[in-house]
């Protein structure tokens, strides 16, 4: 299994941003990490192309709004010939959200809101997160990014029992992975709840993009939204976690305050633990590509509660971190390639007899 601890040499990073001040802040911040070596900075795509050829960086940080050639166009030209792991660092405006989503579709492996230069914004903590995600990006395989092209055709009805729910967690590489999983869902699919690690302002653009392409309805969740057939709710990025509440088939989602879990807010673990408590054996859950271990413990809780649990396999993951952590915990009942995840979730929802046999102790939160 690939882990950050197996990397001995510092990750070689190229910073690309048209702002001299941002280049300086990122360079200084990344250089504080002994496992990162900033090998160069570039102010635009043409200079970046030359430095990629000469310096052979392992990761690139990339701005979107740049003169002459924007970051999305640059990525679309670069990735087919040199699939370099790229972390987008962009301002989280509404237009920036839509454009940055295009960059993820073009092959970027992660997106981070551009840090504020104000003294009181916790720049040190922000840069620590940037360092962590740049290190993780070095393990990504951007050649696995399948783009947004989806198979055509209408999905047949799933004929599932009404009181079923599907839960999905994803991070790095999840934009493409979720698109491919959700395209398999018919209009009468069980209600779906999703955490995809994204900054505030980006999840709505992502949900709108999916909604325009898929048979099911996809939207950014709001507090109190009902979980219903044919609808996928994506947890909004920002300062709150999304949890499941109520009993089936009358579940709702709540957006709740809380500290980050596994460096994430919203966190997959927080959602999955609530799914274990309120849905149990009525749930099917999948943990997809992503760095770190968020979701692994929650997936185990769902398995202990009698739900069906899946993890994406290493061969089709951009970063086999979160699914690998689930496998290590024995949280996944099966490990599947990406294109088998959707059909497997539907099959489990339609056939509850094939589920796990654990019982969940709701008071202690453990298997019994």
pLDDT for residue 93: 55
**Does the pLDDT at position 327 exceed 70?**
yes
Higher pLDDT, 159 or 24: 24
The residue count for the chain: 368
Residue-wise pLDDT for 103-141, tens only, equals 888 889 888 877 776 654 577 888 998 999 899 899 998
Active site residue 197: yes
pLDDT for residue 7: 46
Q: 255, 221 in Cβ contact below 8 A? A: yes
Half-sphere exposure of residue 215: CA atoms within 13 angstroms, side-chain side = 22
Set 17, 63, 70, 294: catalytic member: 294
Q: Looking at the chain, which residues constitute the CATH 3.40.50.180 domain(s)?
A: 165-367
Tell me the pLDDT of the chain averaged across its residues: 87
Q: Which residue has the tokens 């579709």?
A: 105
Helices 338-350 & 174-182, crossing angle to 10 degrees? 40
pLDDT for residue 240: 96
Set 43, 90, 171, 274: catalytic member: 171
Residue 141 CB neighbours (<10 A): 19
The pair of three-digit structure tokens given for residue 175, joined into one six-digit string = 């934009």
pLDDT for residue 182: 96
4-144: CATH superfamily? Response regulator (3.40.50.2300)
Q: Nearest CA to 134 among 31, 286, 251, 237?
A: 31
Domain 165-367 has CATH 3.30.1380.10: no
Q: Nearest CA to 297 among 250, 319, 264?
A: 264
Plot region of 207 (φ>0 → left; ψ -120 to 50 → alpha; else → beta): alpha
Higher pLDDT, 352 or 223: 223
Q: Looking at the chain, which residues constitute the CATH 3.40.50.2300 domain(s)?
A: 4-144
The pair of three-digit structure tokens given for residue 280, joined into one six-digit string = 């149990």
Residue-wise pLDDT for 189-210, tens only, equals 999 999 999 888 889 989 998 9
Sign (positive or negative) of CA dihedral 123, 290, 92, 245: negative
Distance, in Å, from the CA atom of 239 to the CA atom of 257, rounded to the nearest integer, reads 7
Active site residue 304: no
Residue-wise pLDDT for 82-105, tens only, equals 999 999 988 755 556 788 788 888
Residue-wise pLDDT for 231-284, tens only, equals 999 999 988 999 999 998 999 999 999 999 998 999 999 999 999 999 999 999
Set 183, 197, 241, 278: catalytic member: 197
Active site residue 183: no
**Does the pLDDT at position 367 exceed 50?**
no
- How sure is the predictor about 73, in pLDDT bands with cuts at 50, 70 and 90? very high
């Amino acid at each position: 299994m690939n882990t950050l601890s197996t990397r001995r040499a510092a990750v070689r990073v190229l910073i690309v941003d048209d702002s001299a001040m941002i280049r300086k802040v990122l360079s200084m911040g990344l250089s504080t990490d002994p496992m990162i070596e900033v090998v160069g900075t570039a102010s635009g795509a043409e200079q970046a192309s030359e430095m990629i050829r000469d310096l052979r960086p392992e990761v690139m940080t990339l701005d979107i709004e740049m003169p002459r050639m924007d970051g999305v166009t640059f990525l679309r030209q670069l990735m087919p010939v040199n699939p370099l792991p790229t972390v987008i660092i962009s301002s989280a405006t509404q237009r920036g959200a839509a454009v940055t989503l295009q960059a993820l579709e073009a092959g970027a492996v992660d997106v981070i809101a551009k840090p504020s230069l104000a003294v009181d914004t916790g720049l040190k903590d922000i840069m620590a997160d940037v360092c962590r995600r740049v290190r993780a990006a070095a393990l990504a395989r951007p050649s696995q990014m399948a783009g947004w092209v989806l198979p055509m055709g209408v999905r047949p009805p799933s004929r599932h029992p009404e009181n079923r729910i599907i839960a999905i967690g994803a991070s790095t590489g999840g934009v493409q992975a979720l698109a491919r999983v959700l395209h398999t869902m018919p209009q009468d699919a069980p209600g779906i709840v999703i955490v995809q690690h994204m900054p505030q302002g980006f999840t709505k653009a992502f949900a709108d993009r999916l909604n325009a392409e898929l048979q099911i309805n996809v939207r950014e969740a709001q507090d109190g939204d009902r979980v219903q057939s044919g609808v996928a709710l994506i947890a909004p990025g920002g300062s709150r976690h999304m949890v499941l509440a109520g009993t089936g088939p009358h579940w709702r989602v709540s957006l709740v305050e809380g500290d980050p879990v596994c460096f994430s807010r919203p966190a997959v673990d927080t959602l999955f633990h609530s799914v274990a408590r309120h849905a149990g054996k009525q749930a099917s859950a999948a943990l997809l590509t992503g760095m770190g271990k968020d979701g692994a413990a929650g997936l185990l809780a769902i398995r202990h509660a009698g739900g069906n649990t899946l993890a994406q396999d290493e061969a089709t993951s951009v970063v086999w971190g979160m699914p690998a952590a689930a496998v290590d915990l024995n949280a996944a009942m099966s490990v599947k390639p990406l294109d088998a995840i959707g059909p497997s979730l539907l099959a489990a929802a339609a056939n509850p007899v094939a589920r796990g046999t654990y019982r969940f102790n709701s008071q202690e939160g453990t298997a019994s």
